[in-house]
Amino acid sequence: MSNYLKHFAAAREVVLPCLYTPPGTQIPTNAEFRPKAAEAEAKMQARRMLRVSSFTLPSVERAVAKACQHLRVPREAVHAFVSPALERNAHCLMNADEPVIVFGSALVELMTEKELTCVAGHEIGHFLLPEAHLLIDHESAEGRLHSRAAEITMDRIGLVSCGDVQAACLTEMKLLCGLKDPHLRADVTAFIEEARKAFDGTFQREEDSTHPPTQLRLRAILEFANSDAYHNPHGRSGGKPIAEINQSVTRLLHEHIDRHIIAEMTEPVLMAKAWLYCLCKSHGTEVTTHALNRIKPDVDEVRLQRAWASLAGFKGEQICSHAHQRFVKSIENSHGMAPQLTQQLMAWIKSEPAMNPIKHLLP
């Protein structure tokens, strides 16, 4: 944990169970954000926008204070502002050692106090769980997958902050349409039914987005509302294990958004594993599928044997040479599609004693 986060240890106990990551994710533990001092950052922001306080923006102040209370974050540690520039949006500055959050003025106009509490918790969550952002890269499909997972996490923290499922759902609905009473009716059931029709798994454009579609975010919120990770911070027992909820959300995202891109990402990594198997075997070392699958994605025996059979026309050193060439090429391909998965695979190879005979051949 970064040193500045130690001041928020109680809050992290609340939000860590909310963390959702794609299956097989290994979050780096050696990252350091090198944050700026929040006071200096807040002073700079105060020159350009209005600071939230009980004197200037009392309803926004109450919303932020309630989020802090539920997340066990000292209110004085959160620097909140309102700006006309963000329109119907909010964000958290990630370069300070305390949360600095900014609400768009149009967002404040649109939301009720309880809904603003949900938004405030969402943005404070970005600060409290930096590990949710470490693998985000908006330029790669894999990085956008992690970005969408991070938004699922922050939506959960928003729900914990406001403690009101209806308010959390209305927040998403208002952000989608930009309307409120008397135009918007809070019929979540009808909204979900419309989402089922709209997202049938055939439209792939969402793979390019850094945020999940609102309809699916709302369904993920409703799933989380049934979890122990939601009930426990509010002093309630019961709820489904969060691991079970995470599996359900994974299925939801996989069915409607992620399955196409995951297939594209994992295929070159699986081929890299197959050629790694061949490279090891050509140097007299047998590597089992069990060993190879200590790192995701899982490869099957059929793929390994098919790759080995493709080398049947070569002999002796030719087998070693061709296995090496194909392994190097497959690593290049997998790094282009799935850099994080590829780095995890290479790190495992370098640390695995069984790979010693071929480590000098690694790219």
Tens digit of each residue's pLDDT (9 = 90 or more) over 169-178: 999 999 999 9
For 353, other C-beta atoms within 10 Å of its C-beta total 6
**How far is the C-alpha of 214 from the C-alpha of 205, rounded, in Å?**
14
State the DSSP H helix or E strand holding residue 51, giving kind and residue range, or none if neither: strand 50-51
pLDDT of residue 201: 56
Assign 5 a pLDDT band (cuts: 50, 70, 90).
confident
Residue 202 has pLDDT above 90, yes or no: no
Average pLDDT over residues 227-243: 95
**How far is the C-alpha of 134 from the C-alpha of 157, rounded, in Å?**
18
Token pair in block for residue 109: 């106009």
Three-class SS of 87-151: CCCEEEECCECCCEEEEEHHHHHHCCHHHHHHHHHHHHHHHHCHHHCCCCCCCCHHHHHHHHHHH
pLDDT of residue 307: 96
In the chain, the percentage of residues whose pLDDT exceeds 90 is 68
**How far is the C-alpha of 163 from the C-alpha of 318, rounded, in Å?**
65
pLDDT of residue 25: 81
Q: Which long-range contacts (CB under 8 A, 24 or more apart) does 328-335 make?
A: 328/363, 330/268, 330/271, 330/272, 330/274, 330/275, 331/272, 331/363, 332/363, 333/268, 333/271, 333/272, 334/268, 334/269, 334/271, 334/272
Residue 204 has pLDDT above 70, yes or no: no
Separation of first and last alpha carbons in the chain: 32
Residue 30 has pLDDT above 70, yes or no: no
pLDDT of residue 207: 64
CA 93 to chain centre: 17
Mean pLDDT of the chain, nearest integer: 91
Assign 32 a pLDDT band (cuts: 50, 70, 90).
low
Average pLDDT over residues 201-208: 60
Contact 213, 206 (CB under 8 A): yes
pLDDT of residue 193: 81
Among 60-74, 86-100, 121-135, 189-203, the range of highest mean pLDDT: 60-74
**How far is the C-alpha of 327 from the C-alpha of 279, rounded, in Å?**
7
**How far is the C-alpha of 292 from the C-alpha of 193, rounded, in Å?**
42
pLDDT of residue 256: 82
Tell me which residue of 251, 266, 252, 144 sits closest to 207, measured CA to CA. 144
Q: Which residue has the higher pLDDT, 247 or 199?
A: 247
**How far is the C-alpha of 183 from the C-alpha of 171, rounded, in Å?**
15
pTM for the predicted model, two decimal places:
0.87
Token pair in block for residue 143: 């990085």
**How far is the C-alpha of 19 from the C-alpha of 86, rounded, in Å?**
26
pLDDT of residue 259: 84
pLDDT of residue 106: 95
Average pLDDT over residues 5-11: 91
pLDDT of residue 258: 86
**How far is the C-alpha of 85 from the C-alpha of 97, rounded, in Å?**
24
